[in-house]
Amino acid sequence: MTTRWLTQDESATWVRLVAVLELLPNVLDSQLRRDADLTNFDYYVLAMLSEAEDRTLRMTALAAQTNAALPRLSHVVRRLEERGLVDRLPCPEDKRATNARLTDAGVAAVTAAAPGHVANVRDHVIDALTPQQVAQLGEIADALLARLDPDGRMTPMYRRHDAAAED
């Protein structure tokens, strides 16, 4: 098999994407840690629960929506539970499974953290782009997701935002 090396333009684009992928998580984490005592992943877990029916998801569903391995998610949910932001309880439909439920304190935490997080996302990503570039970025993300998530495990997480945008 012959290697299809990247062209100079492709390589230049690729290393820029790698730089964004390396820098952006730290930018998101540092703001949330400073302003809300949450990591970006903590915030993501709380946000997914806040959008779920009855603010509750089975741990396996939450793991799929956050693309987290169950051991990592269990560790994060345990920490959030210790802070009173999440409760874990047996799943009523399957007693072998566990549900995570956002508490009222968790709702307050994610609600308080959201404005700063959105301002940070807007400042570092959205406002750096023209409206046309934002649309292009959405198209680029869809093309990449078709390859990276061919089974659509994370599709429910981002498609619900499409429906909200179309309303």
pTM (2 d.p.): 0.88
Three-state DSSP state, 49:
helix
Query: Mutual orientation of helices 155-166 and 59-66 as an angle, nearest 10°?
Result: 70
Q: For every one of its 167 residues, what pLDDT tens digit does the chain have, with 9 covering 90 and above?
A: 999 999 999 999 999 999 999 999 999 999 999 999 999 999 999 999 999 999 999 999 999 889 999 999 999 999 999 999 999 999 888 888 999 999 999 999 999 999 999 999 999 999 999 999 999 999 999 999 999 989 888 887 777 778 555 55
At 99, give phi and psi (nearest 5°): -105, 150
Listed in sequence order, the DSSP H helices in 4-154 are: 8-36, 40-51, 59-66, 70-82, 104-124, 131-148
* Domains of the chain as residue ranges with CATH: 13-128 (1.10.10.10)
Q: Which residues pair with 57 in a beta bridge?
A: 100
Q: Find tokens 């990449």 and name the residue.
A: 144
